Amino acid sequence: MTRACFITLEGLEGAGKTSRLADLKAFLEQRGKTVLATREPGGTTLGERLRELLLAPDQGSMAPLTELLLMFAARSEHVARLILPALEAGQWVLCDRYVDASYAYQGGGRNLGAAPVAALEALLPARARPDLTLLLDLPVELGLARANRRSAADRFEQETVAFHQRVREAYLARARQHPLRYCIIDAAADPDQVQAAIERAVERLL
């Protein structure tokens, strides 16, 4: 039996992470895996409460470091209570956003840089490092247009195009720094093509 894997989906708003995660869960279950699908910020009761604070449009701005620390507070709870126990029980874990989102949004979008994110990441256990990160990449305007069609804008979706451009660039820089872990997927393509590319990438872990 192969070891349970930890797979993260990353990308801009509207990239298709939520839709593809559901299909990927079904694909893995067809292969006989038990799968936990979860998201960040969130996943636990406390994490979902922190998510509400972090995303509420009427929250207004917060200091970038406060935002980063709240993301990691939610993540610490998520890792300890959900992700590690699932992996240790042999379940595959699929997570809609994870540490790389902090590099992209707080490090890149909010201009904090990578150092504070790396310092917090170092506090997480080694087993909580993803085996594969699927970066659903697409132009900013396309992602925001899709996200706006879906629902009212949250605190991040209200940000400028320039903010989201920095987020995208920070994600692509992470992918260049971690070429073995990352797989960049063209998320502007049709859903079927995106799903096929994801399944090819995941097949290597099976």
The footprint of ligand ADP (CB under 6 A) covers: 11, 13-19, 146-147, 149-150, 190-191, 194
Stretch 137-156: interaction string toward ligand TYD, x if CB under 6 A: ----------x--------x
Q: Are 156 and 27 in contact (CB under 8 A)?
A: no
Which span (58-66, 93-101, 121-129, 187-195) binds ligand TYD, by CB under 6 A?
Answer: 93-101
Tell me how far, at minimum, the Cβ of 2 lies from ligand ADP, in Å. Answer: 27
Binding-site size, ligand TYD (CB under 6 A)? 16
For residues 11-32, b (16+ Cβ closer than 10 Å) or e, as one string?
A: bbbbbbbeebbebbbebbeeee
DSSP string over 179-191? TTTEEEEETTS-H
Binding test (CB under 6 A) with ligand TYD, winner from 105, 107, 136, 197: 105
Q: Which does 69 bind (CB under 5 to 8 A by kind): ligand TYD, ligand ADP, none?
A: none
DSSP string over 5-70? -EEEEEESTTSSHHHHHHHHHHHHHHTT--EEEEESS-SSHHHHHHHHHHH-GGG----HHHHHHH
The arrangement of strands across the sheet holding 132-137 comes to 35-39, 92-96, 6-11, 132-137, 182-186
**Whether residue 41 has a cis bond before it, omega within 30° of 0:** yes
Binding test (CB under 6 A) with ligand TYD, winner from 24, 41, 174, 202: 41
Q: Which does 19 bind (CB under 5 to 8 A by kind): ligand TYD, ligand ADP, none?
A: ligand ADP
Tell me how far, at minimum, the Cβ of 62 lies from ligand TYD, in Å. Answer: 11
Binding test (CB under 6 A) with ligand TYD, winner from 7, 21, 37, 101: 101
Q: Which residues bind ligand TYD (CB under 6 A)?
A: 13, 17-18, 39-41, 55, 71, 96-97, 101-102, 105-106, 147, 156
